Structure 1
Protein backbone atom coordinates (compact mmCIF):
# COMPACT_ATOMS: atom_id res chain seq x y z
CA UNK A 1 0.00 0.00 0.00
CA UNK A 2 2.11 2.77 -1.27
CA UNK A 3 1.67 6.10 -2.97
CA UNK A 4 -0.83 4.68 -5.48
CA UNK A 5 -3.33 3.81 -2.75
CA UNK A 6 -2.89 7.25 -1.13
CA UNK A 7 -3.69 8.94 -4.46
CA UNK A 8 -6.75 6.69 -4.85
CA UNK A 9 -8.04 7.63 -1.40
CA UNK A 10 -7.48 11.35 -2.10
CA UNK A 11 -9.29 11.18 -5.46
CA UNK A 12 -12.15 9.16 -3.97
CA UNK A 13 -12.55 11.62 -1.10
CA UNK A 14 -12.57 14.61 -3.47
CA UNK A 15 -15.09 12.87 -5.74
CA UNK A 16 -17.30 12.14 -2.74
CA UNK A 17 -17.25 15.79 -1.69
CA UNK A 18 -17.99 16.94 -5.25
CA UNK A 19 -20.95 14.57 -5.60
CA UNK A 20 -22.41 15.85 -2.31
CA UNK A 21 -22.49 19.42 -3.62
CA UNK A 22 -25.48 20.14 -5.83
CA UNK A 23 -28.05 22.83 -6.66
CA UNK A 24 -29.93 23.41 -3.43
CA UNK A 25 -32.67 26.00 -2.95
CA UNK A 26 -31.70 29.11 -1.03
CA UNK A 27 -33.92 31.71 0.59
CA UNK A 28 -33.71 35.17 -0.99
CA UNK A 29 -33.29 37.94 1.55
CA UNK A 30 -35.93 40.59 0.76
CA UNK A 31 -38.05 38.59 -1.64
CA UNK A 32 -38.67 35.71 0.74
CA UNK A 33 -38.54 33.37 -2.29
CA UNK A 34 -37.05 29.96 -2.82
CA UNK A 35 -35.19 29.70 -6.08
CA UNK A 36 -32.97 26.92 -7.37
CA UNK A 37 -31.10 29.27 -9.69
CA UNK A 38 -31.88 27.11 -12.71
CA UNK A 39 -33.65 29.89 -14.59
CA UNK A 40 -37.15 28.51 -14.21
CA UNK A 41 -39.84 31.01 -15.18
CA UNK A 42 -42.48 29.23 -13.13
CA UNK A 43 -40.74 29.99 -9.82
CA UNK A 44 -41.52 33.73 -9.66
CA UNK A 45 -44.71 35.18 -11.16
CA UNK A 46 -46.05 38.66 -10.38
CA UNK A 47 -49.86 38.64 -10.43
CA UNK A 48 -51.11 42.20 -10.84
CA UNK A 49 -54.34 44.14 -10.31
CA UNK A 50 -54.69 44.70 -14.05
CA UNK A 51 -55.50 40.96 -14.36
CA UNK A 52 -52.18 40.03 -15.95
CA UNK A 53 -49.30 37.87 -14.82
CA UNK A 54 -45.65 38.80 -15.36
CA UNK A 55 -43.16 35.90 -14.98
CA UNK A 56 -39.65 36.78 -13.81
CA UNK A 57 -37.14 34.34 -15.29
CA UNK A 58 -33.83 34.34 -13.37
CA UNK A 59 -30.61 34.66 -15.37
CA UNK A 60 -28.15 35.07 -12.50
CA UNK A 61 -28.76 34.19 -8.84
CA UNK A 62 -26.49 35.13 -5.91
CA UNK A 63 -25.12 32.61 -3.44
CA UNK A 64 -27.91 33.46 -0.96
CA UNK A 65 -30.61 33.01 -3.63
CA UNK A 66 -31.32 36.61 -4.65
CA UNK A 67 -32.17 37.04 -8.31
CA UNK A 68 -29.52 39.45 -9.63
CA UNK A 69 -30.51 39.64 -13.30
CA UNK A 70 -33.63 38.29 -14.98
CA UNK A 71 -36.04 38.55 -17.88
CA UNK A 72 -39.42 40.03 -16.98
CA UNK A 73 -42.05 38.87 -19.45
CA UNK A 74 -44.43 41.73 -20.25
CA UNK A 75 -46.34 39.62 -22.79
CA UNK A 76 -46.19 35.95 -23.84
CA UNK A 77 -43.55 36.68 -26.51
CA UNK A 78 -41.83 39.77 -25.17
CA UNK A 79 -39.43 40.06 -22.27
CA UNK A 80 -37.39 42.86 -20.75
CA UNK A 81 -33.94 42.39 -19.22
CA UNK A 82 -33.97 43.67 -15.62
CA UNK A 83 -31.27 43.99 -12.99
CA UNK A 84 -31.45 44.13 -9.20
CA UNK A 85 -30.69 47.62 -7.90
CA UNK A 86 -29.39 47.75 -4.31
CA UNK A 87 -31.92 49.30 -1.94
CA UNK A 88 -31.86 49.90 1.81
CA UNK A 89 -35.11 47.97 2.35
CA UNK A 90 -36.96 45.93 -0.25
CA UNK A 91 -35.89 45.45 -3.83
CA UNK A 92 -35.95 47.14 -7.22
CA UNK A 93 -35.57 45.48 -10.59
CA UNK A 94 -34.93 48.04 -13.30
CA UNK A 95 -34.98 47.68 -17.05
CA UNK A 96 -35.32 49.98 -20.03
CA UNK A 97 -38.51 51.99 -19.49
CA UNK A 98 -39.83 49.98 -16.54
CA UNK A 99 -39.01 49.10 -12.97
CA UNK A 100 -40.43 46.92 -10.25
CA UNK A 101 -40.30 48.11 -6.62
CA UNK A 102 -41.29 45.87 -3.76
CA UNK A 103 -40.92 44.42 -0.33
CA UNK A 104 -41.38 40.67 0.20
CA UNK A 105 -44.47 39.52 -1.74
CA UNK A 106 -45.87 43.02 -2.51
CA UNK A 107 -44.62 44.95 -5.53
CA UNK A 108 -45.42 47.92 -7.70
CA UNK A 109 -44.73 47.54 -11.43
CA UNK A 110 -43.98 50.88 -13.12
CA UNK A 111 -44.27 51.31 -16.88
CA UNK A 112 -43.03 54.90 -16.68
CA UNK A 113 -43.71 57.76 -14.30
CA UNK A 114 -47.51 57.80 -14.55
CA UNK A 115 -48.40 54.18 -15.32
CA UNK A 116 -48.09 51.74 -12.42
CA UNK A 117 -49.91 48.65 -11.19
CA UNK A 118 -49.86 46.84 -7.83
CA UNK A 119 -48.74 43.19 -7.85
CA UNK A 120 -48.14 40.25 -5.55
CA UNK A 121 -45.75 37.34 -5.98
CA UNK A 122 -47.29 33.94 -6.61
CA UNK A 123 -45.05 31.08 -5.51
CA UNK A 124 -44.95 27.82 -7.37
Structure 2
Protein backbone atom coordinates (compact mmCIF):
# COMPACT_ATOMS: atom_id res chain seq x y z
CA UNK A 1 0.00 0.00 0.00
CA UNK A 2 2.85 2.43 0.78
CA UNK A 3 4.48 1.75 -2.60
CA UNK A 4 1.27 2.73 -4.40
CA UNK A 5 1.08 5.99 -2.44
CA UNK A 6 4.75 6.75 -3.17
CA UNK A 7 4.29 6.11 -6.90
CA UNK A 8 1.11 8.20 -7.00
CA UNK A 9 2.80 11.02 -5.08
CA UNK A 10 5.80 10.94 -7.42
CA UNK A 11 3.56 11.09 -10.48
CA UNK A 12 1.64 14.05 -9.08
CA UNK A 13 4.86 15.93 -8.33
CA UNK A 14 6.20 15.14 -11.82
CA UNK A 15 2.94 16.36 -13.39
CA UNK A 16 3.28 19.61 -11.42
CA UNK A 17 6.79 20.20 -12.78
CA UNK A 18 5.68 19.48 -16.34
CA UNK A 19 2.70 21.85 -16.03
CA UNK A 20 4.87 24.63 -14.58
CA UNK A 21 7.44 24.23 -17.37
CA UNK A 22 4.71 24.29 -20.03
CA UNK A 23 3.31 27.57 -18.71
CA UNK A 24 6.74 29.23 -18.77
CA UNK A 25 7.28 28.27 -22.43
CA UNK A 26 3.79 29.35 -23.46
CA UNK A 27 4.44 32.95 -22.38
CA UNK A 28 7.54 33.36 -24.57
CA UNK A 29 6.33 35.47 -27.47
CA UNK A 30 8.69 36.94 -30.05
CA UNK A 31 7.11 40.01 -31.67
CA UNK A 32 6.87 40.43 -35.42
CA UNK A 33 9.02 42.80 -37.42
CA UNK A 34 8.57 45.20 -40.32
CA UNK A 35 11.04 45.36 -43.20
CA UNK A 36 11.39 47.86 -46.02
CA UNK A 37 12.27 46.48 -49.45
CA UNK A 38 13.74 48.99 -51.93
CA UNK A 39 14.16 47.60 -55.44
CA UNK A 40 15.97 48.66 -58.62
CA UNK A 41 12.65 48.97 -60.47
CA UNK A 42 11.81 51.95 -58.24
CA UNK A 43 9.36 50.00 -56.12
CA UNK A 44 9.30 50.24 -52.34
CA UNK A 45 7.53 47.39 -50.59
CA UNK A 46 6.87 46.42 -46.98
CA UNK A 47 7.19 42.97 -45.43
CA UNK A 48 5.39 42.54 -42.09
CA UNK A 49 5.90 39.33 -40.13
CA UNK A 50 3.56 38.19 -37.41
CA UNK A 51 4.47 37.26 -33.83
CA UNK A 52 5.61 33.72 -32.99
CA UNK A 53 5.60 31.81 -29.72
CA UNK A 54 9.28 30.85 -29.83
CA UNK A 55 12.28 31.42 -32.11
CA UNK A 56 12.48 28.87 -34.92
CA UNK A 57 8.75 28.45 -35.42
CA UNK A 58 7.03 28.91 -38.76
CA UNK A 59 6.85 32.58 -39.66
CA UNK A 60 4.09 33.92 -41.83
CA UNK A 61 4.17 37.45 -43.12
CA UNK A 62 2.40 39.79 -45.50
CA UNK A 63 4.15 41.40 -48.45
CA UNK A 64 2.58 44.77 -49.26
CA UNK A 65 3.07 45.29 -53.00
CA UNK A 66 0.68 48.25 -53.10
CA UNK A 67 -1.86 49.71 -50.68
CA UNK A 68 -4.54 47.34 -52.01
CA UNK A 69 -2.41 44.34 -52.98
CA UNK A 70 -1.16 42.33 -50.00
CA UNK A 71 0.22 38.83 -50.53
CA UNK A 72 0.50 36.39 -47.60
CA UNK A 73 3.95 34.76 -47.63
CA UNK A 74 5.72 32.11 -45.57
CA UNK A 75 9.35 31.95 -44.48
CA UNK A 76 11.41 29.10 -45.96
CA UNK A 77 14.92 28.86 -44.45
CA UNK A 78 17.52 28.36 -47.19
CA UNK A 79 20.81 27.47 -45.49
CA UNK A 80 22.70 30.78 -45.53
CA UNK A 81 19.73 32.85 -46.68
CA UNK A 82 15.97 33.00 -46.61
CA UNK A 83 12.97 32.83 -48.90
CA UNK A 84 9.55 34.35 -48.34
CA UNK A 85 7.22 32.64 -50.80
CA UNK A 86 3.61 33.34 -51.63
CA UNK A 87 1.22 32.78 -54.50
CA UNK A 88 3.03 34.02 -57.62
CA UNK A 89 5.72 36.01 -55.77
CA UNK A 90 8.80 35.24 -53.68
CA UNK A 91 11.75 37.03 -52.13
CA UNK A 92 15.17 35.29 -51.99
CA UNK A 93 17.88 36.94 -49.95
CA UNK A 94 21.01 36.83 -47.84
CA UNK A 95 21.18 39.47 -45.09
CA UNK A 96 20.23 42.82 -46.68
CA UNK A 97 20.54 41.81 -50.37
CA UNK A 98 17.57 40.13 -52.00
CA UNK A 99 15.95 39.25 -55.32
CA UNK A 100 12.23 39.88 -55.65
CA UNK A 101 10.45 37.63 -58.14
CA UNK A 102 7.20 39.23 -59.26
CA UNK A 103 7.38 37.12 -62.44
CA UNK A 104 8.85 33.64 -62.74
CA UNK A 105 11.95 34.49 -64.81
CA UNK A 106 12.35 38.20 -64.05
CA UNK A 107 14.04 38.91 -60.68
CA UNK A 108 14.57 42.43 -59.40
CA UNK A 109 17.54 43.26 -57.17
CA UNK A 110 16.52 44.80 -53.84
CA UNK A 111 17.91 46.01 -50.54
CA UNK A 112 16.15 44.98 -47.32
CA UNK A 113 16.23 47.00 -44.11
CA UNK A 114 14.34 47.13 -40.84
CA UNK A 115 11.76 49.83 -40.34
What is the root-mean-square deviation in Å for CA atoms of aligned residues?
2.5
Aligned residue pairs: how many? 90
Question: Please, what TM-score do these two structures have when normalized by structure 2?
Answer: 0.65
Q: Evaluate the alpha carbon distance shift between residue 77 and residue 119 of structure 1 in structure 2; reply closer, same or farther with a 3 A threshold.
A: same
Counterpart residue number, 1:12 = none
CA deviation after TM superposition for structure 1 residue 89, in Å? 1.5
CA contact (8 A) 1:47 1:120 kept: yes
Question: Please, what TM-score do these two structures have when normalized by structure 1?
Answer: 0.61
Counterpart residue number, 2:94 = 103
Structure 2 residue 54 is the aligned partner of structure 1 residue 63:
yes
Moved over 2 A (4+): 59-67
Larger radius of gyration: 2
CA contact (8 A) 1:60 1:67 kept: no
Question: 2: CA distance between counterparts of 1:107 and 1:117?
Answer: 8
Counterpart residue number, 1:44 = 35
